[in-house]
């Protein structure tokens, strides 16, 4: 587990640090979050801590498909914290040699879509039935190739097929407790 401390005030909090590690190592820190099982099943998890022990945000990457999950406590939203945690997670993922990171976001969630776009994620496909946008960020040359390949493949496949494939992948990436 890696600890990255920021001794100066950030987001109006007296002490801030990032904890980076495997989801299982940090399970206790995210236990009260709505996405706790998804975060705890992450191979890479970054947790944002304030006041020396309070987790207020977490971002994880899970499975061989490098699926990203981000959660920020309601009282901390709108302060740039999502961008900070996401940037830190992408940085650690790149240092660990991941080629790309993927995610899906509801097309109704404009705030999240803009956050992901601002951080470099590109739209790969839109799934009408679940109303989801599949997004991806390449982290190196291999990742760029995979991203372009998936965009091309998704442009030829019918929406119903993509929706079923997405559902199948999602079920296999979430580790049940």
Nearest CA to 41 out of 27, 57, 28 is that of 27
Pick from 45, 16, 12: nearest CA to 31: 45
3-state class of 42 per DSSP?
coil
Ranges of each domain in the chain: 2-173
More confident position, 38 or 53: 38
Q: Which residue did the predictor score with more confidence, 10 or 165? A: 165
The mean per-residue pLDDT over the stretch 47-72 comes to 85
- Tell me which of 104 and 8 has the higher pLDDT: 104
Q: Which residues, in sequence order, are CB contacts of 59 under 8 Å at separation 6+? A: 45, 46, 68, 69, 70, 71, 85, 86, 88, 89
Domain 2-173: assigned CATH number: 3.40.630.30
pLDDT at res. 112? 93
Q: What pLDDT score was predicted for residue 89?
A: 92
Walk across the sheet containing 16-21 and list its strands: 2-6, 16-21, 44-50, 54-62, 67-72, 100-106, 132-138, 122-127
- With a cut of 50, say whether residue 55 has pLDDT above it: yes
Is the pLDDT score of 157 beyond 80?
Answer: no
Burial profile 81-119: b = 16 or more Cβ within 10 angstroms, e = fewer = bbebbbebbbebbeeeebbbbbbbbeeeeeebbebbeeb
Candidates 17, 75, 24, 63; CA nearest to 45 is 24
Can you give the pTM of this predicted structure?
A: 0.80
Closest by CA to 14, choosing from 51, 49, 47, is: 51
pLDDT above 50 (res 176) = no
Average pLDDT in the chain: 81
More confident residue, 127 or 9: 127
Q: Please give the residue that has the higher pLDDT: either 65 or 85.
A: 85
Averaged over 51-67, what is the pLDDT? 83
* 57-66, 89-98, 107-116: range with lowest mean pLDDT: 57-66
pLDDT at residue 166 is higher than 70: no
């Amino acid at each position: 587990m890696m600890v990255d401390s920021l001794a100066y005030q950030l987001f109006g909090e007296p002490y801030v640090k990032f904890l980076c590690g495997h989801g299982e190592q940090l399970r206790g820190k995210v236990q009260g979050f709505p996405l706790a099982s998804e975060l705890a099943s992450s191979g890479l998890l970054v947790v944002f801590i304030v006041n020396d022990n309070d987790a207020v945000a977490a971002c994880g990457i899970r499975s061989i498909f490098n699926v990203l999950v981000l959660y920020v406590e309601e009282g901390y939203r709108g302060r740039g914290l999502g961008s900070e945690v996401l940037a830190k997670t992408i940085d650690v993922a790149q240092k660990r040699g991941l080629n790309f990171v993927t995610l899906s976001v509801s097309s109704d969630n404009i705030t999240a879509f803009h956050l992901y776009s601002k951080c470099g994620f590109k739209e790969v496909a839109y799934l009408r039935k679940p109303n989801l946008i599949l997004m991806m960020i390449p982290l190196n040359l291999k990742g760029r190739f995979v991203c372009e390949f998936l965009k091309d493949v998704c442009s030829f496949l019918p929406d119903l097929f993509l929706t079923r494939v997405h559902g199948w992948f999602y079920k296999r990436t979430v580790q049940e407790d």
